[in-house]
Structure 1
Amino acid sequence: CVCFGCELVEPSSRRRGNMAAAPPHKPFLIFFDFDETIVDESSDDVVVQAAPGQRLPAWLKDTYQPGHYNEYMQRVLAYMAEKGVTEQAIRTVIEKIPASPGILALFQYLRTRPQDFEIVLVSDANTFFIETWLRRAGARHQFLKIFTNPASFNEDGRLLLGPYHAHGCPRCPENMCKQVIVRDYLARRTQERGRPFQRVFYVGDGANDFCPSLILGPRDTAFARQDYPMHKLIVEKVTTQPADFKATVVPWASGEDVVARLKKVVEER
């Protein structure tokens, strides 16, 4: 891929050099999406609550073009800065986004199994929204890596958003293909560890979470949020081209559904 300021965010203690490299013996790798997976809303939609009148003007909304959402959000954030929306105002509305049902229980379970799970986040949101919410929830330290669009405030108080990378996948928005990210991460970690993970899990909800699920193997699990686009696309694929989808599919309505499946996998080791 071609990266434009893309950022692989690590825990601050790791950046300071106080944390050893991820141990090679963890048998399982779990990927999480963010919007409508970890949190129960789209952070891009929620940030509009900090705008004047908690809404965007029609002329701005009309500039959205399919496949170019990142560029649209750049314009939204520029508009909010022009209207005097502060970093603290944005932080406040993001921190208030509710977690999806059972997700905090899932995080709690993963905290009890640090020897088993390497945890990675892959999201088309941005670094500021994700870091803000995870730190508020006390869950930032659980994620070894966060792959998302770079975003930071400049000296004028404007939140500058960029694309994660460029790619050639026709299924995905132009700024991010999660399959490319997942495939590259798996290849790199397998080389670093000297062996592949025993199982890979992917927890998501959206259409852009369907793409990475296509490269999961028969020992892996796609946790697709019940009746959301990822789940519907998988059902369609399994129905029409079953040979092309190899992973086990586990629909979830609550993070507790994911916990139940992970406990079973751990017990079967």
Structure 2
Amino acid sequence: MKRCFEGVGLQCLFKGRSMATTRSQKYLLTFDFDETIINENSDDSIIRAAPGQELPETIRQTLQEGFYNEYMQRVFEYMGDQGVKMADYKSVYENMPLSPGMRELLHFLSKHQDLFEIILLSDANMFGIECSLRATGFYSLFRKIFSNPSGFDKRGYLTLGPYHSHSCQKCPANLCKRKILTEYLTERAQEGVRFEKLFYIGDGANDFCPSLALTSTDVTFPRKGYPMHQLTLEMEIKQPGVFQATFVPWHSAVEVCQYLQEFLKKKC
């Protein structure tokens, strides 16, 4: 499988960790959103706000692989035409269920914010993520959220844009999580912050891209049976040793919580 390289390599940044003048030595924990923090795909869920809770075939047929962001722009335009308002969207976003065990994991992390710096990388949209996290009470847990910009125009329509442009051939045209993570680590390094270890929790193929760049000291938590997990297993078979990070699959986020608890005990 072709590996994704975007900007400065994460491994180069990691090798330079000990060289930085540090202000803190937290662990960086990165979350995905759809089907990781929440137990469904928010882009699919939002259709519950549409008339009849479905889209016309003429819209659905416009979906092209790698251009989901553009597709969702058309979906939101259609829903605006049908009279869907901000309150309708909020109702859906605020009621999306958390994944199994996720509430327990987030509670655990809220008690250890002195150790974990937490960010979120998602190909959903900022409005929906913020609505969902505020409803759960965990919005303040995240130091930074990276997702596609969204908001309401003068018509009251929900609008969506791409996060950035990039050259990664394996990620959607609008967002590469590896590029975002690389830039974030560079920014934090410039601020004098060094991370002793990175943890990455996700489920999708676009979570596999940044996980390829992690080192042997880092840990990924792919959700069992989802694309990130399947791609990791395939690489282990086809290219043993290429995937360097320890990977810990999970059905319930309680398993992630237990791993982190044991890790902290060993560090004490």
TM-score exceeds 0.5: yes
Distance 1:204 1:25, change over 3 A: same
The alpha-carbon distance between structure 1 residues 258 and 24, as it changes in their structure 2 partners (threshold 3 A), is farther
Match of 1:52 in 2: 51
Q: Tell me which residue corresponds to 1:263.
A: 261
**CA distance in 2 between partners of 1:24 and 1:127 (Å):** 30
Question: How far is 1:191 from its partner?
Answer: 2.5
Secondary structure in structure 1 of the residue aligned to 2:230: helix
Distance across 1 between alignment mates of 2:35 and 2:138: 17
Cα deviation, residue 24, structure 1? 3.6
Q: Distance in 1 between matches of 2:25 and 2:98?
A: 27
Aligned to 1:78: 77
Query: Which SS does the other structure have where 2:130 is aligned?
Result: helix
1:26 and 1:118 in contact (8 A); partners too: no
Structure 2, gaps ≥5 residues long: 1-5, 8-21
Q: 1:244 aligns with which of 242, 245, 263?
A: 242
After TM superposition, the runs of 4+ consecutive aligned structure 1 residues lying more than 4 A away are none
Percent identity of equivalent pairs? 48
Deviates more, 1:150-159 or 1:181-190: 181-190
Q: State the 1:187 CA deviation.
A: 1.9
1:25 Cα deviation after fit: 1.7
More strand, by proportion: 1
- CA distance, structure 2, for counterparts of residue 243 and residue 256 of structure 1: 28
Q: Which residue of 2 aligns with 1:18?
A: none
Shift of 1:26: 4.2
Q: State how far apart, in whole Å, the 1-side matches of 2:176 and 2:155 are.
A: 31
SS of residue paired to 2:124: strand
* TM-score w.r.t. length of structure 1: 0.90
What secondary structure does 1:222 align onto? strand
CA distance in 2, matches of 1:108, 1:216: 26
Q: Is structure 2 residue 151 aligned with structure 1 residue 158?
A: no
Q: Is there any run of 5+ residues in structure 1 with no aligned partner, and where?
A: 3-22
Give the SS at the match of 2:66.
Answer: coil
The letter of the residue matching 1:93 is V
Which residue of structure 2 aligns with residue 191 of structure 1?
A: 190
Pairing of 1:1-269 with structure 2 (within 5 A): 24-194=23-193, 196-269=194-267
Q: Deviations 1:92-148 (Å, cap 9, x if unpaired)?
A: 011111100000100000011111000000000000100000000000000000000
- Residue 240 of structure 1 aligns with an amino acid whose one-letter code is K
Contact 1:154/1:160 (<8 A) preserved: yes
Partner Cα separation in structure 2 for residue 166 and residue 255 of structure 1: 32
Deviation of 1:201 (Å): 0.4
SS of the equivalent of 2:147 reads strand
For normalisation by structure 2, the TM-score amounts to 0.90
Shift of 1:207: 0.6
CA distance, structure 2, for counterparts of residue 65 and residue 213 of structure 1: 25
Structure-2 change in CA distance of 1:65 and 1:53 (3 Å): same
